[in-house]
Amino acid sequence: MKHLKFLFFLIFTLTFAGVTTVVAQTNIPDTAVVKGKVRFGVKLGGQISGVSNIHGGSSKRFPGLTAGVALQIPIPDEETNRFYIVPELIYSQEGEKSRTNENKSIKFYNDYLSLPIMMRAYTLDNNLFFIEIGPKVSYLIHQKNKGLELTEARKYDVGLCIGGGVNIAGEHKLELGARLNWGLVDIYPDMEGKSKNIGGAISLSYFFGKNN
């Protein structure tokens, strides 16, 4: 049942993103500027992550890998192409680590397949910087507990992402970004207290093709 709820939410999110994109592309006012094209990209980065209110004395998982693909979908406006929808499909390594009183290593790592859908806005006349915000849904694909008996993590997570970045080369082509992620779901429901994923990531993105 939990898996069905997650699948329903995932389908709803993808459908919402698709409908929003179609509406943005078809209902274009006469004065709108439509220079951008939908482009495919790849991204790679690292992150530091943890779980709130559950593991006393533990440290963050660092570095954790983030890698995946993205689409850059322009939203027409009346002045210039500054607004985009950016859906991503990301492999994300999250969790924490610690040591016992005997100095033995303890690891509680959760690896997710995540789907952030970001609303992105470029700033300044040269579109050098951008800010972004959006929801994220994640599905747990691997859990590793070493040296510690820990309850099984929930199979899904829903969160909020806020970030920004800088355009390094080309027009929205090679970009360096930073992002904060807040989980909204109690991922260890059998444990005392609310345990939610938290983390921050830095990544490099490259989008193929020309923006015009």
- Return the bridge partners of 39, or none: 72
Residues 111-132, mean pLDDT to the nearest whole number:
91
Which residue has 């059998």 as its token pair? 190
Environment class of 197 (CB within 10 Å of its CB; exposed 0-12, middle 13-18, buried 19+): buried
| pTM exceeding 0.85 | no
E strand or H helix that includes residue 39: strand 39-51
The number of angstroms, rounded, from the C-alpha of 28 to the middle of its chain's C-alpha atoms is 29
100 vs 48, residue with greater confidence: 48
Residue 54 reports pLDDT greater than 70: no
Residues 169-174, mean pLDDT to the nearest whole number:
84
Residue 78's φ and ψ, nearest 5 degrees, are -85, -5
Residue 143 reports pLDDT greater than 80: yes
154-166: pLDDT as tens digits: 999 999 999 999 9
- Terminal-to-terminal C-alpha distance of the chain: 46
Percent of the chain with pLDDT over 70: 73
**C-alpha span between 106 and 98 (Å, rounded):** 5
Please confirm whether the linkage preceding 29 is cis (ω < 30° from 0): no
pLDDT of 25: 47
22-44: pLDDT as tens digits: 444 444 443 333 456 889 999 99
59-109: pLDDT as tens digits: 677 789 999 999 999 987 656 678 999 999 999 999 887 766 677 777 778
